[in-house]
Amino acid sequence: MKIIDISKNVDEKTLVYPGDTPFTLNWLTESPIKTSEILVTPHVGTHIDGPMHFAFSDKGIGSYDLRYFVGPCLVLDEQTCLDLKKLKEAFDVHREHHIQKVLFKFDSTGGIPLETLGYLQLKGVHLIGTTNNSVDDEKSHSFEVHKAALKEHIFLLENLVLDGVSCGVYQLSAVPLKWTKAEASPVRAYLLEFE
């Protein structure tokens, strides 16, 4: 079994969405015990958005069952994301895995098309991930994909690191912190590859 870390490092240099609070760490005590406090948006680095993010629920991200964030997932490339025929073929090839989580490797800053989201919803997918900062196109300010997905309680995993990860089926773990009043959470996401 191989464990593949697919999370971004988080520190003061980590970019955040314009207007969000960047990562700040302050030392409260340094001797004899080191204790720090952290101030940061929950949308920092690799993170997961829940329905509360666009007011489709009052339920915090840490209140959901872990099954939404752990299990078989399908890693696909940008071309498959943008081509519904290729996407359907990928699902047909891997139908025995009962995929409910899909991660997309993007080469551009583009977003996930609404048609792709619609197909994934029909297939019972409840988590969609991307290597981009957002599931929406970088130039979009209407957040159509966010709204459409979160309204249907499809969780959004953003800022993944899938360099060197081949397309195929893996076991995913992308569990949010048990923040019961937050709309999102940073995650330490990883894939398990069975050889």
Q: Which one is catalytic: 43, 47, 53, 126? A: 53
Beta strands per DSSP E along 21-174: 24-29, 35-39, 47-49, 70-77, 101-105, 127-130, 155-158, 168-173
Q: For the stretch 46-77, what's the b/e string if a residue is b when 16 or more beta carbons lie within 10 angstroms of its beta carbon? A: bbbbbbbbbebbeebbebbeeebbebbbbbbb
Cα 76 from chain centroid (whole Å): 14
**Inter-residue contact 166 to 75 (CB < 8 Å):** yes
Q: Is 53 among the catalytic positions?
A: yes
DSSP 147: H
Measured from the Cβ of residue 102, the count of other Cβ atoms closer than 10 Å reads: 27
* Residues recognised as catalytic: 53
